[in-house]
């Protein structure tokens, strides 16, 4: 379905929500399109690229209505390799602590990396002329989600200072192929370093504002509620999620797998989020008493995850393999999912934990 490999874990068929097996992300820094996760809140819209218009409105001196041709011809083409990470990535680890009704138990692969091509949002904003009173830039898709109450188009905003950064793109291509319908064709936003929800797909309207978006998917959800809060979807409750927090997980071997005791090759990803970078990844097989440093792969872009690898000595019997990443601000992932549990199950960036059996 949607050009994805048949071994994807499909959390929901309609709207389509799916993530690949761990091993599918282990093979390369740039994720092949057939295993790139899909996160949708409504039906995938059918869009005609010929009639598609992007409206740029709000606190601007010159509102714009741009066709795809206008975008291609009026602005320089820009390319960026960037990781997307859903705020619900690794929710399954939180569900083990306490049930999270109504939210899919995403594993560690609701994150992936692509090379995106399009134009810089900053160039489009410059053409529209941003008013001095502006502080936020909102993106609105065409897909109507009935998760929202009342049903509405998916949207969200980022601060103007981020929107004006050169890494933020309006993209029409992913890994040098035209954007596919499920990933936002004909045009999507890519906001590197921010939760996936801000990279709005099928974007048809950009509104420059003097406050953050009031869209359901920013004001009422994708917010970090305190552990003892009721889920009410009251706008403004809890902490608005934006910058991704440092996270990592294991991609190889698989959770629960058996191996002959002795050396076992372990590989995974780490992503710092924001404009931070991954500084170090540690691995332990003795419950965290001692740690060994994993080798980090090449940093292909400031906005991309880093894959890491290490060979561990697996003892006979059951072992819990731990992995944890540090970022360039010296922040470390929290130790346990109990410490980060929240009622909507976002931002599980607790240490990676993998059950391995040595034979």
Residues interacting with Mo ion, by CB under 5 A?
39, 86, 196-197
Report what 267 binds from ligand MTE, Mo ion, none; CB cut-off 5-8 Å by kind.
Answer: none
Name the residue nearer to ligand MTE (CB basis): 69 or 146: 146
209 binds ligand MTE (CB under 6 A): no
Q: Is 18 helix (H, G, I), strand (E, B) or coil?
A: strand
Report what 319 binds from ligand MTE, Mo ion, none; CB cut-off 5-8 Å by kind.
Answer: none
Q: What is the nearest approach in angstroms of ligand MTE to the Cβ of residue 139?
A: 8
Report what 253 binds from Mo ion, ligand MTE, none; CB cut-off 5-8 Å by kind.
Answer: none
Stretch that binds ligand MTE, among 61-69, 130-138, 157-165, 191-199 (CB under 6 A): 191-199
Q: What is the nearest approach in angstroms of ligand MTE to the Cβ of residue 212?
A: 17
Name the residue nearer to ligand MTE (CB basis): 54 or 197: 197
Note the helical H segments in the chain: 22-26, 68-74, 91-95, 121-128, 160-163
Stretch that binds ligand MTE, among 30-38, 159-167, 236-244, 284-292 (CB under 6 A): 30-38
Residue 281 tokens, joined: 């990844």
321 binds ligand MTE (CB under 6 A): no
22 binds ligand MTE (CB under 6 A): no
Name the residue nearer to ligand MTE (CB basis): 14 or 298: 14
Name the residue nearer to ligand MTE (CB basis): 113 or 333: 113
Report what 158 binds from Mo ion, ligand MTE, none; CB cut-off 5-8 Å by kind.
Answer: none
186 binds ligand MTE (CB under 6 A): no
84 binds ligand MTE (CB under 6 A): yes
221 binds ligand MTE (CB under 6 A): no
The neighbouring-strand residues paired with 180 are none
- How many residues sit in the footprint of ligand MTE (CB under 6 A)? 18
Q: Give yes or no for a contact between 228 and 76, defined as CB atoms under 8 angstroms apart.
A: no
**Site residues (vs ligand MTE, CB under 6 A):** 36-41, 84, 86, 141, 143, 154, 183, 196-197, 199-202
């Amino acid at each position: 379905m949607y050009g994805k490999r048949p071994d994807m874990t499909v959390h929901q068929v309609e709207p389509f929500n799916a993530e690949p097996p761990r091993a599918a992300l282990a093979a390369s820094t740039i994720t092949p399109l057939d295993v790139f996760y899909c996160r949708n809140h409504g039906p995938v819209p059918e869009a005609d690229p010929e009639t598609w218009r992007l409206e740029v409105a709000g606190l601007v001196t010159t509102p714009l209505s741009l066709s795809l041709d206008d975008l291609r011809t009026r602005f320089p083409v820009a390319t960026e390799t960037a990781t997307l990470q859903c705020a619900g990535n690794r929710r399954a680890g939180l569900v083990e602590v306490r049930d999270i009704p109504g939210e899919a138990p995403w594993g560690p692969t609701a994150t992936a990396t692509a090379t995106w091509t399009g134009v810089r949002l900053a160039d489009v904003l410059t053409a529209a002329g941003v008013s001095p009173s502006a502080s936020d830039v909102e993106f609105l898709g065409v897909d109507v989600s009935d998760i929202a109450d009342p049903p509405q188009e998916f949207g969200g905003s980022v601060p103007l200072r981020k929107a004006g950064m050169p890494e933020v793109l309006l993209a029409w291509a992913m890994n040098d192929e035209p954007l596919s319908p499920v990933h936002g064709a004909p045009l999507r936003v890519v906001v590197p370093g921010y939760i996936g929800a801000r990279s709005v797909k099928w974007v048809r309207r950009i509104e420059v504002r003097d406050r953050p978006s009031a869209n359901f998917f920013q004001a009422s959800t994708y917010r970090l509620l305190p552990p003892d809060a009721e889920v009410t979807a009251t706008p403004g409750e809890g902490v608005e999620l934006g910058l991704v927090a440092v996270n990592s997980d294991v991609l190889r071997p698989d959770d629960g797998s058996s191996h002959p005791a002795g050396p076992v090759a372990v590989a995974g990803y780490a992503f710092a989020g924001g404009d931070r970078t991954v500084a170090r990844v540690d691995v332990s097989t003795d419950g965290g008493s001692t740690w060994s440093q994993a080798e980090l792969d090449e940093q292909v872009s400031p906005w991309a995850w880093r894959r890491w690898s290490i060979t561990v000595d697996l003892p006979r019997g059951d072992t819990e393999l731990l992995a944890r990443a540090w970022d360039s601000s010296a922040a470390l992932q929290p130790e346990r999912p109990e410490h980060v549990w929240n009622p909507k199950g976002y931002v599980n960036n607790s240490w990676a934990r993998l059950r391995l059996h040595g034979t």
